[in-house]
Structure 1
Amino acid sequence: MSRSETPTVVLVHGAFADASSYSSVIPALLNRGLKVVAPAVPNRSLIGDSAYVASVVRQIDGPVVLVGHSYGGAVITVAGVEENVKALVYLSGYALEEGESLGELQGRFPDSDLAAALVYTPFPIEGSDTPGTDVSVDVEKFPAIFAADVDPEVAAVLAVSQRPLAAQAFADAAPAAAWKTKPSFGLVSSSDHTINPDVERFGYQRAGMTTIEVDSSHLVMLAHPKKVVAFIEEAVKSTVK
């Protein structure tokens, strides 16, 4: 495929993380001649985060393959309606239905180990006397829940450098579901202790996605980068005629 028709791969990170969660995937994608953008998601609200990612996508010249990990799956579900998005890739992610929130989708299934490890912290909201609530993961429990098969030294760094998710993000209902009109690919992390794998399976099956399963912790991009890169490449190839 020529460089001009090659999609840009936009990598959307999840909650409690930042774009460095793709650090083992980005070099391989670049070495394959793909253009890559890995924005910092605000992690403040599903509506606001989706609008931000959509604004990034709109400024890219040419087609886009939108990849979302975990909460990032919910974000691409909404942002993916942008006209130049040609495919969606979900990694251990939430595939919401239009009008559905994260809380509603998760509530259909038994809790994962994450639920008992969450920490709630107030944060100031500019112009408001009422603080918001940041949600993060107990630092001591983070490695086992998120990254059981990731290098322990890397997992320890991730645990103390979390990007919290505002509680509002769990309540926002998705105003759109891009998988209804875009080819979609879903990877289930079958040893996930952060999201119940059945939540991933349900969302992907409901959307009729091309789906694979990897015996992995939640951070599949760091634990099994080669498999993730190959899966993203499959989505990229699907967009090139």
Structure 2
Amino acid sequence: MHLAEALRQRGARVVVPRLHRGSLKADVRAVQAAADLCETPPILAGHSFGGAVIADVARACSYVFFSAFAPMAGESCAELGGPDALVNQWVRPHASGGTYVPEQFARELFYADCSSADASRAIDLLVPQAGGHGRGVVRRAEWTRAPSHYIVCEDDRAVSPELQRTMARRCDSSQHIHASHSPHISQPELIAEAIFG
């Protein structure tokens, strides 16, 4: 969406692999395959659960996390978020056997500072989560072998800003912004600037 366009305007080649393929392991494989096709080591950017995905992808020149999990080896999103994670109270069982956040909650939870049109488009792209997807364990934490940057979203209603500050302390650098859970939609220029460093 907006972030990809902002990055392309800066001359970047942008690849956005589809996630939520059923497990963390499957998502890591998909992003690793995309990274391996890059002519030079890429910058990997991860949002929310996507932070755990890029955490295990090798061959990146740097990692940028925003409103994301940044797990060490042996950790999972579920473990880091804990039983009291902000998002948990809005998650419901899905007929497919996975879970989802109903549309009436998703707008405020994920897209509180996005325009109505952008929020509606983003909601249309949401898919149910496979059961246990957040319990996938990061194996190698490849992200710790390269420069890393964390963007804390202080107005997030899905991933606790306090947890984000903990994740930020693990990274080489960080910044704090006033944004809800999806700054790549509400503030794409700011996120693009951080990715380009």
- TM-score of the superposed pair, with normalisation by structure 1: 0.77
| 1:38 maps to 2:11 | no
Aligned partner letter, 1:121: H
The equivalent of 1:73 in structure 2 is 51
After superposition, the C-alpha distances for 1:40-74 in whole angstroms (9 at most, x for unaligned) are: 12441111111121111112221200011110000
- The answer to whether 1:97 aligns with 2:72 is yes
Note the C-alpha offset of 1:96. 0.5
Alpha-carbon RMSD: 1.5
Aligned partner of 1:128 in structure 2 is none
C-alpha contact (below 8 Å) 1:46/1:172 kept by paired residues: yes
Higher strand share: 1
> What letter is aligned with 1:226?
E
Q: What code does the residue aligned with 1:33 have?
A: G
Q: Any idea what SS the aligned residue of 1:66 has?
A: strand
2 CA distance for matches of 1:90 and 1:216? 14
Secondary structure, counterpart of 1:185 in structure 2: strand
| Secondary structure in structure 1 of the residue aligned to 2:39 | coil
Structure 1 vs Structure 2: percent identity of aligned residues?
25
How far off is 1:122 after superposition? Answer: 4.5
**Given that residues 94 and 128 in structure 2 are in contact (C-alpha distance below 8 angstroms), is that contact kept between their aligned partners in structure 1?**
no
Query: How many Å separate the matches in 2 of 1:186 and 1:202?
Result: 10
Matches of 1:49 and 1:30 in 2, distance apart? 24
Aligned 8 A contact 2:17 2:30 in 1: no
Which residue matches 1:115? Answer: 88
Pick closer, same or farther for the CA change 1:188–1:118 going to 2, 3 Å. same
Query: CA contact under 8 A between 1:135 and 1:167: conserved in structure 2?
Result: yes
Counterpart of 2:38 in 1: which secondary structure? coil
Task: Determine the C-alpha separation between the residues in 1 that align with 2:155 and 2:7.
Answer: 25
Cα contact 1:190–1:213 (8 A) shared by 2: yes
Kept in 2: contact 1:119–1:136 (CA 8 A): yes
- Structure of higher CA gyration radius: 1
Matched, 1:229 2:195: no
Number of the residue aligned with 1:64: 42
For the residues of structure 2 that align with 1:73 and 1:64, how far apart are their CA atoms?
15
- Structure 1 segments (4+ residues) deviating >2 Å: 156-161
Give unmatched runs, 5+ long, in structure 2.
none
Q: Deviations over 1:192-229 (max 9, x none)?
A: 00111111111221x23310011101011111111111
Alignment-derived partner of residue 170 in structure 1: 134
Secondary structure at the residue paired with 1:67? strand
